[in-house]
């Protein structure tokens, strides 16, 4: 079952709670919260205060994508604020195994994200520990960028490795997902779709969310 995670990066922050409720009503499953520090990526967004402001006010699963250097320094703050999934970048962690263990020990779900140029094999020895792998399909930092098609083989390879090892982790894809690109991502094996600009700018986001979720059913019926 495909799950859809709108990224609030493209929301109108002047009425953030209304924007999030609009996505909840449209059939979203998760809420993707993009945290940027101005160092790991060339942009600054939000911190634990925003997670706390939304926690308990919406029923969506709070999925926090940490695009920050030294993410290990902030895990407790985000977990206490209400994060239900903490995803760190492999490229930002010198001691990735330790960071993964710290998240698990707090009782939070753990994900690791890979930039488009980062190979999958850097996860070889931590893959069994993860609840989610996030394959970035844009270079992180901004919403509204073009989908990078060269990540499709990486999604396929991860789906194969997941099957081979019998893992239950979720394969999430983030960046440039819209009415044209989602089909490729789902066919490659993605299970959780993050979409920012495509959903928040859509006059009727429910139509796109329904399309995202219906494709696998249609494929199965064929």
Site membership for ligand DX5, residue 195 (CB under 6 A)? yes
Choose one: 74-82, 88-96, 102-110, 188-196; the region binding ligand DX5 (CB under 6 A): 188-196
Site for Zn ion in 83-142 (CB under 5 A): none
Shortest CA distance to 60 belongs to which of 94, 28, 16, 83?
Answer: 28
Site membership for ligand DX5, residue 71 (CB under 6 A)? no
d(CA 148, CA 106): 34
Beta-carbon count within 10 A of 129 CB: 17
Site membership for Zn ion, residue 37 (CB under 5 A)? no
Site for Zn ion in 155-184 (CB under 5 A): 174
**How many CA atoms, within 13 angstroms, populate the side-chain half-sphere of residue 210?**
7
Active site residue 174: yes
Active site residue 221: no
Select 128 or 146, whichever has its Cβ closest to ligand DX5: 146
Site membership for ligand DX5, residue 111 (CB under 6 A)? no
Q: Which residues contact 3 (CB under 8 A, 6 or more apart)?
A: 29, 30, 170, 191, 192, 193
Site membership for ligand DX5, residue 177 (CB under 6 A)? yes
Q: Which one of ligand DX5, Zn ion, none is in contact with 143 (Cβ closer than 5 to 8 A by kind)?
A: ligand DX5
d(CA 17, CA 23): 10
Cβ atoms of residues 190 and 136 within 8 Å: no
d(CA 29, CA 63): 10
Where on the chain is the footprint of Zn ion (CB under 5 A)?
A: 34, 65, 174
**Would you name the residues annotated as active-site residues?**
34, 174
- The contact set with ligand DX5 (CB under 6 A) reads 7, 9-10, 32, 34, 65, 138, 140-141, 143-145, 174-177, 194-198
């Amino acid at each position: 079952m495909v799950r859809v995670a709108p990224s609030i990066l493209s929301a109108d922050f002047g009425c953030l709670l209304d924007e999030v409720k609009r996505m909840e009503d449209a059939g979203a499953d998760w809420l993707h919260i993009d945290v940027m520090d101005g160092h790991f990526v060339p942009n600054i967004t939000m911190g634990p205060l925003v997670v706390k402001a939304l926690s308990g006010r919406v029923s969506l699963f709070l999925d926090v994508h940490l695009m920050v250097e030294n993410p290990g320094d902030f895990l407790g703050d985000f977990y206490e604020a209400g994060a239900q999934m903490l995803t760190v970048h492999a490229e930002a962690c010198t001691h990735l195994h330790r960071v993964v263990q710290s998240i698990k020990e707090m009782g939070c779900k753990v994900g690791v994200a890979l930039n488009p140029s980062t190979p999958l094999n850097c996860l070889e020895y931590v893959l069994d520990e993860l609840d989610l792998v996030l394959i970035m399909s844009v270079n992180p930092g901004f919403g509204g960028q073009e989908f990078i098609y060269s990540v499709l083989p990486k999604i396929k390879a991860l789906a194969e490795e997941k099957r081979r090892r019998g893992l239950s982790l979720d394969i999430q894809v983030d960046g440039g997902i819209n009415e044209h690109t989602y089909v490729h991502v789902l066919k490659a094996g993605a299970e959780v779709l993050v979409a920012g600009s495509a959903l928040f700018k859509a006059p009727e986001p429910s139509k796109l969310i329904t399309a995202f979720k219906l494709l696998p059913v249609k494929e199965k019926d064929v």
